[in-house]
Amino acid sequence: MQRQPTSRMCFVCGRENPVGLKLAFYEDHAANQVRAEVMIPDQYQGYPGVVHGGIISTILDEVSGRAVMLEKGDEGLMVTLRMTTRFRRPTPTDTPLTVVGWVEQVSGVGARVAGEVRLTDGTVTADCQSLLAEPPERFKEAWKTEKPYWAVPDQDGS
């Protein structure tokens, strides 16, 4: 699987964000999915031993949104207009998880995407469906200063 680029300060993937999750996303072209393996530490809990729902939603937003990059590459970056998250069961902290995102439909300047958080046995703890669109021009302008740092990290993570 091919690793996707990351940014410097994104909360989910940012290499230099001191409080970020630093997830690495991989393209699984055979399955038409983007995936990441993660173990979320207790510092991101809502209830003891349970990942905060906002953290789960954030991860789902990122993995499903990155799925449009499977076909469009770096130019596929979009913004979320609407997202529905279903919490099917508590997601435990300090437990290996797989997050998966895929595109359900692309039309014009937007896309409908979906994602799941899974335990190692395949049990889905949360899922989402989202509607994405091309970012506004002001976002694209601001992105120009970050784009030189949008890269696949070296093996040492830098």
Give the chain as a 3 state SS string: CEECCECCCCCCCCCCCCCCCCCCCEEECCCCEEEEEEECCHHHECCCCEECHHHHHHHHHHHHHHCCHHHHHHHHCCEEEEEEEEECCCCECCCEEEEEEEEEEEECCEEEEEEEEEECCCCEEEEEEEEEECCCHHHHHHHHHHHHHCECCCCCCC
List pLDDT tens digits, range 86-127.
999 999 999 999 999 999 999 888 999 999 999 999 999 999
pLDDT confidence of residue 74:
79
Q: Is 29 exposed, middle or buried (0-12, 13-18, 19+ CB in 10 A)?
A: exposed
Q: Which of 134, 22, 126 is nearest to 80 (CA)?
A: 134
Segment among 52-61, 79-88, 108-117, 142-151 with least mean pLDDT: 142-151
Q: Which CATH architecture has domain 2-133?
A: Roll (3.10)
Entry pTM: 0.94
Region for 49 from its dihedrals, namely left if φ exceeds 0, alpha if ψ lies in -120 to 50, beta otherwise: left
8-34: per-residue pLDDT in tens? 999 999 999 999 999 999 999 999 999
